[in-house]
Chains A and B, each alone.
Chain A
């Protein structure tokens, strides 16, 4: 049984047992949802099969699930970004903000020591710092009390190496 005045749009199963189908119909203005029992003899089901065959219905279901998962992942990422849990480091504005925050915002005691330690380790992995022959600069880098000082020394080493 078609919804009077509506045309078929799409359909997919909604449950693992494949007993219920969500069919979408449109009257040209709005799309309506109809839930149909996939049961032989059911007039809605029999009508649906005149619009989409069973193989196409299974394929549409597979695609729907894939798209839903993808949509959910995108939504989760967006929420995480909106709430500052996740940053997009392909965005240069985000990188700029992160640099400024790292360099100039007041640091918490417990966090800063660990962050500074990791930051120095990463700097010492850079080739131009590894090759630096100026012992004082390397010593200053080791002794730097915060990220600003460490970065300042690293820049001096970089400029000296070029």
Chain B
């Protein structure tokens, strides 16, 4: 651990940055990362790299017919669960990056070494002073620039919708769609309860910072230009968030880390079946058909909750 205090220009003097100045630069790292995140989520048709999620629901039982009388409830097939619908639509994509090149040790800010010398920070110093704290902020579960979250609508303030295709849909049997007059009813008649979408948090407002000194090619000290300093910070953030063990941003479904946005719930009706009859024809006629069927019923219960999680690993 070698956190440094970079030097900055102050009315003709070299001064060490305060804690507050360093914190501002850490926040600036988060901000610049939001302009071009190296770890992104995309919505794919199938086989996403994150774990899949399953939506379950109940369906009506098979209908029965009888030429003499109604089959009893116990003779009528029960309602059943449909084959779970698998949602495997979220993929994490990591940019392919190398560590920034620090030619002649001039890339990073300078600091006072306590022994009379001013020298440039190393890549490790840079990481320990700014980057690691910024990554911790990025994965704290709040809406941080350039990170991704789940929401239940197709628009969200300060966010960009990644795809209008939901990454998870909770469905349930549509109780109102099943009627005795409709027997034989189509067994699986679902209704959509909630769609869930992936969003990226937009780049926010730039935190104001004090820009430090760097060593020029002529071995002079000079304040970075604002754009050059931002570009250096961005390159560091992008590199460490995909390459540095323990600092790589990783998304998962129900893995470790902080939740990002709403949980995605799979709900299902909990009834044991609504037995119904339908007589097709007049009583006593040999052509009359006595039909029965069981329909889904009950109250919705949460079967599973899936969270999009973010962590550093």
* Chain A residues proximal to chain B, CB less than 8 Å: 1, 3-5, 14-15, 20, 30, 32-37, 42-44, 68-69, 72, 75-76, 79, 83, 108
Across the interface, do A15 and B153 meet the contact criterion of CB distance under 8 Å?
no
A14-B265, A32-B153, A33-B152 known; A42-B305 Cβ under 8 A: no
A-B contact pairs, 18 of them (CB 8 A): A4-B143, A4-B156, A4-B157, A4-B158, A4-B159, A5-B157, A14-B302, A20-B265, A33-B262, A34-B262, A34-B263, A35-B263, A35-B305, A36-B263, A44-B261, A68-B299, A69-B299, A75-B175
Give the docked Cα–Cα distance between A33 and B261 (Å).
11
Say yes or no: A1 contacts B141, CB within 8 Å: yes
Q: How many A-B residue pairs have CB under 8 A?
A: 67
> For residue A45, which residue of chain B has the nearest CB?
B259
A44 to B258 alpha-carbon distance, docked (Å): 9
Q: How far is the CA of A15 from the CA of B153 in the complex (A)?
A: 24
When C-beta atoms are compared, the residue in chain A nearest to B283 turns out to be A108
In the assembled complex, the Cα of A40 lies from the Cα of B258 at a distance in Å of 11
Distance from A85 Cβ to chain B, minimum over Cβ atoms (Å): 9
4 closest A-B pairs by CB = A35-B263, A5-B157, A4-B157, A43-B141
Q: Does A35 contact B264, Cβ atoms closer than 8 Å?
A: yes
Q: Which residues from chain A contact B194 at a C-beta distance below 8 Å?
A: 33
- With a cutoff of 8 Å between Cβ atoms, the chain B residues found around residue A72 in the complex are 298-299
Residue-wise, chain B 219-257 has the 8 Å CB interface mask toward A (1 for contact) of: 000000000000000000000000000000000000000
B interface secondary structure, majority: loop
Question: What CA separation (Å) do A34 and B153 show in the bound complex?
Answer: 11
Chain B contact-residue range equals 20 to 34
Chain A residues lying within 8 Å of B140, measured Cβ to Cβ, are 43
Q: Is the CB of B305 within 8 A of A20?
A: yes
The answer to whether the Cβ of B122 comes within 8 Å of any Cβ in the partner chain is no
Quick one: which of B183-228 are within 8 Å of A by CB? 194
| CB of B94 within 8 Å of the partner chain | no
Q: Is the CB of A37 within 8 A of B259?
A: yes
Enumerate chain B residues within 8 angstroms of A15, measured Cβ to Cβ.
302
Convert B161-179 into 0s and 1s, putting 1 for each residue whose CB lies closer than 8 angstroms to a CB of A.
0000000000000010001
Q: A14-B265, A79-B274, A83-B179 are in contact. Are A30 and B153 (CB under 8 A)?
A: yes
Residues of B within 8 A of A36 (CB): 259, 262-263
Minimum distance in angstroms from A11 CB to a CB of chain B: 12
Is B276 located at the chain interface by the 8 A CB criterion?
yes
Contact with A along B104-143 (1 / 0, CB 8 A): 0000000000000000000000000000000000001111
A43 x B258 contact (CB < 8 A): yes
CB neighbours of B179 from chain A (8 A)? 83
> For the complex, what is the distance from the CA of A15 to the CA of B158, rounded to whole Å?
31
Which residues on B sit within 8 Å (CB–CB) of A68?
A: 299
Residue of B152, B263, B283 with highest tally of chain A CB at under 10 A: B263
User: How far in angstroms is the closest Cβ of chain A from B93?
Assistant: 24
Tell me whether B151 is interfacial, beta carbon within 8 Å.
yes
Tell whether B307 is near chain A: CB-to-CB under 8 Å: yes
